[in-house]
C-alpha cells in the first residue's frame, strides 16, 4: 500500500515538472487593487519614476519615498469618470512610446534634465485630429493629471503635514506683535 502511494506521488510530481516549462512566469500581471484601471507593475514603476522626476528627493523626501504613485492610482481609480480613467490608462500605456520617439531612449535611461524636458514637452503637447493626435491627447492628459496629483499627494502626505509644515486644525492664539523669524515654521490652514 505504501508503494501505491509513493507511485501516485511520483506520477503527480513528474506531471507537474513536465508542465513547468510551459508556464510563463515573466508576464506582467494586472494589479488587482485598482479594479477600474488596468495597471501593471511595470506601469506603476514608470508612474513612480515620473512622479519622482516631478518631485525628486533632496533635503526633503521625494514623491517616490512618500508613495505618491499609490495615491495617484487610487485617486484615478476612485474619483475620476470612466472616460478619464480610460484616457489616463491610454496615456500611461502610450508614454513609453512617446519617450522613445521623442528622446530616442527609454524613460529610465534618460538623465534627470532629459526626463524633466520630456515631461514638460508632453505636458505642452497640442493634439491634432489624427490617430497620432489622439495618443498625444492621452499622453498630455496623463502627464497633466500625474503632475497635479503628485503635488496634491505630496502636500497632503503625513510627512509634509507633520514634519515640514506643521498642520494646525484650529488657529493658535493671536499675537499681533510677534515677529516672523527664519526659524519659525509656517503654519498652514490656521
44-55, pLDDT tens digit by residue?
A: 999 999 999 999
Per-residue pLDDT tens digits for 90-144: 999 999 999 999 999 999 999 999 999 999 999 998 887 887 888 899 999 999 9
Q: What is the pLDDT of residues 72-97, one digit of tens each?
A: 999 999 999 999 999 999 999 999 99
Say what the pLDDT of residue 14 is: 76
pLDDT of residue 161: 86
Task: Give percent of the chain above pLDDT 70.
Answer: 79
Section 12-33 average pLDDT? 63
Angle between helices 82-103 and 68-79 (to 10 degrees): 140
pTM of the predicted protein model: 0.73
Radius of gyration of the chain (CA): 24
Q: What's the rounded Cα separation, in Å, for the pair 81 and 137?
A: 17
Contacts 24+ apart (CB under 8 A), 95-99: 95/46, 95/50, 95/122, 95/139, 95/142, 95/143, 96/46, 97/135, 98/122, 98/135, 98/136, 98/139
Q: Give residue limits of the domains in the chain.
A: 27-164
Residue with cell 488596468: 38
The answer to whether the beta carbons of residues 141 and 87 sit under 8 Å apart is: yes
**CA separation for the pair 174, 89 (Å, rounded):** 49
* Cell numbers linked to 24: 510563463
Amino acid at each position: 500500500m505504501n508503494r501505491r502511494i509513493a507511485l501516485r506521488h511520483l506520477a503527480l510530481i513528474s506531471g507537474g515538472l513536465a508542465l513547468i516549462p510551459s508556464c510563463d512566469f515573466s508576464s506582467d500581471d494586472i494589479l488587482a487593487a485598482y479594479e477600474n484601471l488596468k495597471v501593471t507593475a511595470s506601469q506603476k514603476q514608470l508612474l513612480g519614476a515620473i512622479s519622482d522626476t516631478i518631485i525628486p528627493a533632496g533635503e526633503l523626501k521625494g514623491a517616490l519615498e512618500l508613495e505618491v504613485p499609490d495615491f495617484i492610482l487610487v485617486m484615478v481609480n476612485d474619483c475620476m469618470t470612466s472616460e478619464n480613467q480610460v484616457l489616463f490608462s491610454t496615456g500611461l500605456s502610450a508614454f513609453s512610446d512617446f519617450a522613445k520617439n521623442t528622446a530616442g531612449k527609454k524613460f529610465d535611461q534618460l538623465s534627470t534634465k532629459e526626463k524633466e524636458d520630456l515631461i514638460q514637452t508632453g505636458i505642452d503637447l497640442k493634439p491634432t485630429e489624427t490617430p497620432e493626435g489622439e495618443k498625444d491627447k492621452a499622453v498630455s492628459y496623463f502627464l497633466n493629471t500625474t503632475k497635479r496629483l503628485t503635488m496634491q499627494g505630496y502636500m497632503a502626505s503625513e510627512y509634509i503635514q507633520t514634519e515640514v509644515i506643521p498642520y494646525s486644525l484650529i488657529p493658535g492664539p493671536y499675537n499681533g506683535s510677534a515677529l516672523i523669524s527664519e526659524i519659525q515654521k509656517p503654519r498652514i490652514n490656521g
